[in-house]
Structure 1
Amino acid sequence: MFRCKNIKYSNHYYPKIKEREDMTIQEEIKKRRTFAIISHPDAGKTTITEQLLYFGGEIREAGTVKGKKTGTFAKSDWMDIEKQRGISVTSSVMQFDYDGKRVNILDTPGHEDFSEDTYRTLMAVDAAVMVVDSAKGIEAQTKKLFEVVKHRGIPVFTFMNKLDRDGREPLDLLQELEEVLGIASYPMNWPIGMGKAFEGLYDLYNQRLELYKGDERFASLEDGDKLFASNPFYEQVKDDIELLNEAGNEFSEEAILAGELTPVFFGSALTNFGVQTFLETFLKFAPEPHGHKKTDGEIVDPYDKDFSGFVFKIQANMDPRHRDRIAFVRIVSGEFERGMSVNLPRTGKGAKLSNVTQFMAESRENVTNAVAGDIIGVYDTGTYQVGDTLTVGKNKFEFEPLPTFTPEIFMKVSAKNVMKQKSFHKGIEQLVQEGAIQLYKNYQTGEYMLGAVGQLQFEVFKHRMEGEYNAEVVMTPMGKKTVRWISPEDLDERMSSSRNILAKDRFDQPVFLFENEFALRWFADKYPDVKLEEKM
């Protein structure tokens, strides 16, 4: 029988609790578990999110994500275009309580065009759940997102999904995960068959069987031989487990928390099998809130009594009836209290946090208190930008800046109706401030140009301009460009030519849009003293 070998537990990973009179806030912070769900498109990410919300009591039933025929939409896909296309193009934030923990889920965009929004979201979490389609294994977007998670050094928990369908052999999936992603794995359970022959899970961690069919949910391992006496898959399971016991990785909580070992769970989000076991085990090992690094390299401890946080996302028109704008803030330290005054070091000014909410996809509720690890939404009238730091009192520090991606494709954009210029400019300003698309202005002509990582961003921009701002737009493709920023001191308008467009970004910084890599090299050779900077 399989037993977990040499289980190691770590007590030094979390920040030490500072001596404070108010232990209640410390206890609240320790309850927080804030994580993002990442995957390749169609791996079942939004479905598993719904099942987690179901167990948290936030929804009465988990709807089918791509309900194009039924008209049923996922709880976390709230934007109109998401409902039409059955994809997530924004990062949703949801919260629920389970087993004494306050869980904050960030459901990230699965489509590759929205990697910038996803990257910023991953800066606001303490762990990641990676959902993998067991029939397809590690796909391109999964690999790309995992690299971000690995760079941050946060724990990764893997859910091998769609066991209700025929898929790849479990051992093959583990081998691919380790070879492609470069992380050790430890299976917490093991599938007994798959597809139509799926019978359940051999739970290695809890030492029990979880049954897919019948009235009983669990059975003892001792009952396995009797229950599956004539099932050839069960014999294979025992052989696999014996192999894992002899040659598999050791279970280590310390390695999990360091992001060096990923616990792997098998299950089916669509049929809600294995999800609750995953949730309960995840909450045992997921970390409590981390600290966050300031620009001077110092780490802000979540248990510091002074409130601090940073804006990782801005979303306009979450409620189209009110044309509102929400700044999503990850609380890094201390406690938020409704009506508190904060510093905004970027501007040197202050702000009052009076109208603040927490989320359940399209619904929200006012919040009076929140602590480190929580995600809150601050109503924004144009005060905040993505990456802003919020502090209190004499603290005027800033957290490290969030990453910015270099766009790859461009379009000229203008208002179709000159009478709608006001709506056009308001829409562009707000959508660009969200960070989902980048705006440039031609230095010579003043024309607006949009830059994006992928084509879908342009489609979403056009859809939202027309639907939310009543401003039809004309978009003219410019093709791919190679983008480089230069210092204002090096700027000379005579450097611009037919092969490189001189422009300004939204912060009025000069930037060149080169026709191709050859044009970039030609420019670099001609102006060797001009430093060309590339974003991520």
Structure 2
Amino acid sequence: MNKINIGIVAHVDAGKTTVTENLLYLGGVIKKAGRVDNGNTVTDSMELERKRGITIKSSVISFNWKNVKINILDTPGHADFVAEVERSLSVLDGAVLVVSAVEGVQAHTLMLFKVLKKLKLPTVIFINKLDRSGANYKRVIEEMKKVLSPNIIGVQNAHKQGTHELEVERPYSYNSMGEIIESLCDIDDKFLEAYINDEKIERAYVKQRIQFKARDAKLYPVLIGSALKEIGMQDLMEAVVKYLPYSKGNEESMLSGVVFKIDNSKMNNKKTYVRLFNGKINVRDKLSIFGKENDEKVKRIDALLNGRNLESETLRAGDIGILYGIKGAKIGDIVGLRDKKIKAINLAEPVLKAKIIPLNEHENIRLYEAILMLAEEDPLLKYEASEDQKDIYLNFFGEVQMEVVKAILESKYNIKVKFEKALTIYKETPQKAGTAVTHIFTAENPFYAGIGIKVEPIKRGEGIKYVSDVTTGYLPKTFQNGIEDGVYEALTQGLYGWELTDIKVTLIHGAFDSVMSTPAEFRNLAPMVLMEAVNNAKTQLLEPLYEFELKINEEVCGRAISDLTRLRAKFDNPIQLNKDILLQGLIPVNTSRDYNLEVASYTGGKGMFVTKFYGFHEIQFKLGETREKHKIDPLNKKMYIMYKRNVLKR
């Protein structure tokens, strides 16, 4: 049986989950399509999702249609969960992009389409909600051609849109063929040549060219309808198997797959979701995880079959399945060998940080353990904790994600929490090279270890590089591992309280006592030496930047340019798009956190302000923020040593 792994993506309130429910209904998985308003949808299985009416976690479900197995990933629609969407799309064969016929292209639509285009993912577009007042599918198609891609082609017509009497013609009807041929001539050179040469253009040939281009992600066919009224859904289903490529994979090739989702909803029953590109996995197989030393034994496999997860003996190439017993796997891990089909993606990075506090002060440890579980399911939910786990900080994409984490902790773990005011995340980097050496057996060093460290700045965006100029023959590997652990731990808190980045750390000296030294002695000393070197180098504050696109009517262009200047944005000359203006550039995260609301206000909801994390850039100290240090500062050597020797308790 052929297989297709597809994702359903959309901006908020485009009707994505209702579309998914209708596809499951047509596929025979459910007896009736659920409704978000009624809280009875299949894919939004979390109580929190049903309560809020939004998708929070990607869910996977399968059904068959005309001898094709279709695995559907229903992905979140809110911008705060864009990383979950990118992670899901990276393992798929194609996608369905849902757009509202009333609201049209939204800022999040543009963001999603950029991801689809970057991944070269074949995509079918479905314009939904044609029955609603104000619906205009032709206007939306023209808007998509301008904003998303000129290679968008509608294949259907509708009548009485915006009413309950909505009628949608079948694709390639007699009434729509003229527009389809005209649009295809603009997109397909081979078709244009045949048209110019007066060759006879059969309907079958038009369908063939659109199918060929669509499966190669060089054309995006548009279907129309109303999921709520169950209009146009069968046409969409047929478009999925017609325009999206089948999953390819060789069971006899070397094993290659990727972990894209982890579910810890049931204690001691970790579910590891894997998309398998090549090879096959059997129960009791030992799997190698790329880059990790220890193999993992598969204790059980669940196959996705007709809306259910059924125990199976084998997961085969091209399919998605759930593995049990894989304790050490993390999201993004490669199972077996890296295959060229595994897409490399740069996930968005959280830009906000907030301290999380349990309302019951005695639940700190329980909260810390719950955060560990949540972070395993979402690798971008980074956390920091003080040595005693009393102070816990989480990184976020936005306020909605903060509310969701708060609700999950209460509903799933019975822990009520509050957040302090969210801060924009800054970082630090060395201004110049700095060196520090602490020798063994000296009065100021109570640890049985000697360490020398050099720090220096490196190119922006390169992160952290750690190297050792000390041979393992001179300083044993176990002691060097202790130093490295201590260095990485200390790098989370610089001179101004922010994480250090774009830094090269070199171990230049090491000394030990053959009787008294342990890896822990080196691990404890390393932060003191590292931070002394950092203090000698001094640090430069870095602020996070968004890459932005602002599309507004030309009448408010002056206001927009004035705003961007005030917000310290750097942008190119305006681009004229008929009566609209497009402005592109870089803008600080801290100054633009709520600017999308301003744009919506002064454009009457018609403007679009789309942002994507770009990176960090130097900033004058007076324009940035410092942060209270949440761990014992190694530069305060007396207090740090007392803490490490268990004399001082926070």
Change in Cα spacing, 1:494 to 1:366, as seen in structure 2 (3 Å) is closer
| 1:325 counterpart = 2:270 | yes
Please give the residue correspondences for 1:218-237 in structure 2 after superposition, counting only pairs within 5 Å. none
1:185 aligns with 2:152: yes
Q: How does 1:96-135 map to 2 (within 5 A)?
A: 96-135=63-102
- Measure the CA separation in 2 of the matches of 1:312 and 1:443: 30
Task: Assess, with a 3 A threshold, how the Cα gap between structure 1 residues 54 and 247 changes in structure 2: closer, same or farther.
Answer: closer
Q: 1:441 to 1:257 in 2, by over 3 A?
A: same
Secondary structure at 1:105's aligned position in 2?
strand
* Contact 1:411–1:475 (CA under 8 A) maintained in structure 2: yes
Alpha-carbon distance in 2 for matches of 1:86, 1:387? 28
Shift of the alpha carbon at 1:183?
A: 4.2
- Say yes or no: does 1:283 pair with 2:256: no
State the partner residue of 2:302. 357
Question: 471, 487, 490: which one pairs with 2:415?
Answer: 471
Contact 1:439 1:448 in 2 (8 A): no
Alpha-carbon deviation of 1:174? 1.6
Which residue identity is paired with 1:76? T
Deviates more, 1:456-465 or 1:163-172: 163-172
- Using the TM superposition, give the Cα deviation of residue 334 of structure 1 relative to its aligned residue in structure 2, in angstroms: 2.3
Aligned: 1:81 with 2:81? no
Whichever residue aligns with residue 409 of structure 2, its letter is: M
Q: Distance in 1 between matches of 2:292 and 2:109?
A: 37
Per the alignment, residue 220 of structure 2 pairs with 262
Match of 1:9 in 2: none
Per the TM alignment, residue 390 of structure 1 is displaced from its structure 2 partner at its CA by 1.2
Deviation at 1:138, TM superposition (A): 1.1
The structure that has the greater radius of gyration is 2
Count how many residue pairs are aligned between Structure 1 and Structure 2: 441
Q: Counterparts of 1:274 and 1:289 in 2: how far apart (Å)? A: 25
**How has the CA–CA distance of structure 1 residues 178 and 276 changed in structure 2, closer, same or farther, with 3 Å as cutoff?**
same
Q: Taking structure 1 as reference, are residues 362 and 81 closer, same or farther at Cα in structure 2, changes over 3 Å only?
A: farther
Matches within 5 A, 1:317-396: 317=265, 319=266, 322=267, 324-359=269-304, 364-379=309-324, 382-391=327-336
Report the alpha carbon displacement of residue 77 of structure 1 after superposing the two structures with TM. Answer: 0.3
| Equivalent residues of 1:309, 1:390 under 8 A apart | yes
Residue number among 13, 24, 36 corresponding to 1:65 in the alignment: 36
How far apart are the structure 2 equivalents of 1:56 and 1:323? 33
Unaligned runs of 5+ in 2: 189-208, 429-460, 468-486, 502-522, 531-538, 545-587, 591-615, 623-650
Structure 1 residues 340 and 268 mapped into 2: Cα distance closer, same or farther (>3 Å)? same
2:494 maps to a residue whose letter is S
Query: Corresponding residue for 1:405?
Result: 348
Relative to structure 1, the CA distance from residue 247 to residue 471 in structure 2 (aligned partners, 3 Å threshold; closer, same or farther) is closer
1:271 aligns with 2:229: yes
Q: Does 1:305 align with 2:253?
A: yes
CA gap 1:252/1:245 in 2 versus in 1, 3 angstroms: closer
Distance in 2, Cα, partners of 1:76 & 1:323: 23
8 Å CA contact 1:413, 1:448 repeated in 2: yes
Which of 488, 493, 498 in structure 2 is aligned with 1:501?
Answer: 498
Please give the residue correspondences for 1:197-236 in structure 2 after superposition, counting only pairs within 5 Å. Answer: 198-205=165-172, 207=173
SS in structure 1 at match of 2:291:
coil
Partner of 1:18: none
Match of residue 384 from structure 2? 441
Say if 1:481 and 1:513, in contact at 8 Å, map to a contact too.
no
Pick aligned residue for 1:482 from 406, 412, 426: 426
* Conserved? CA contact 2:543–2:619, under 8 Å: no
Separation in structure 2 between the aligned mates of residue 380 and residue 337 of structure 1, nearest angstrom:
13
Residue range with higher mean Cα deviation, 138-147 or 323-332:
323-332
**Secondary structure at 2:315 match in 1:** strand
Q: What is the CA-CA distance between 1:40 and the residue it aligns to?
A: 0.5
1:455 matched to 2:452: no
Kept in 1: contact 2:227–2:233 (CA 8 A)? yes
Inter-partner Cα distance in structure 1 for 2:26 and 2:46: 24
- Write the deviation string for residues 362-392 of structure 1: whole angstroms up to 9, x where unpaired: 963322233222211223564111111112x
Equivalent position of 1:19 in the other structure? none
- Counterpart Cα distance in 1 of 2:82 and 2:464: 27
1:477–1:195 CA distance, 2 compared to 1 (3 A): same
CA change 1:361–1:455 in 2 (3 A) is farther
Please say if residues 33 and 289 of structure 1, whose CA atoms lie closer than 8 Å, have aligned partners that are also in contact: yes
1:36 is aligned to 7
Q: CA 1:100–1:497 in 2, change beyond 3 Å: closer, same or farther?
A: same
Structure 2 Cα separation of the partners of residues 524 and 367 of structure 1: 59
State how far apart, in whole Å, the 2-side matches of 1:346 and 1:40 are: 36
Matched to 1:335, the amino acid is K
Residue 123 of structure 2 is aligned with which of 141, 156, 162? 156
Runs of 4+ with deviation above 6 angstroms: 442-446, 490-495, 508-513
Residue 481 of structure 1 contacts residue 514 of structure 1 at CA under 8 Å; is this kept in 2? no
- Shift of the 455–55 alpha-carbon distance from structure 1 to 2, 3 Å rule, reads same
Q: How far apart are residue 196 of structure 1 and its match? A: 2.2
Instruction: Rate the CA distance shift 1:166–1:307 in 2: closer, same or farther, 3 A.
Output: same
Paired with 2:96 and 2:69, the residues of 1 have a C-alpha distance of: 16
Q: Comparing 338-347 with 143-152, which one deviates more in the overlay?
A: 338-347
Tell me, yes or no, if the aligned pair for 1:424 and 1:471 is still in contact at 8 Å. Answer: yes
Deviation readout 1:178-223 (Å, 9 max, x if unpaired) = 1111241222211122122644222243x4xxxxxxxxxxxxx6xx
1:146-169 residue CA offsets vs partner (Å, 9 max, x unmatched): 111100111110111112223443
Partner SS for 1:410: strand
Match of 2:112 among 145, 159, 170: 145
Q: Distance in 1 between matches of 2:386 and 2:27?
A: 53
TM-score, with normalisation over the residues of structure 1?
0.74
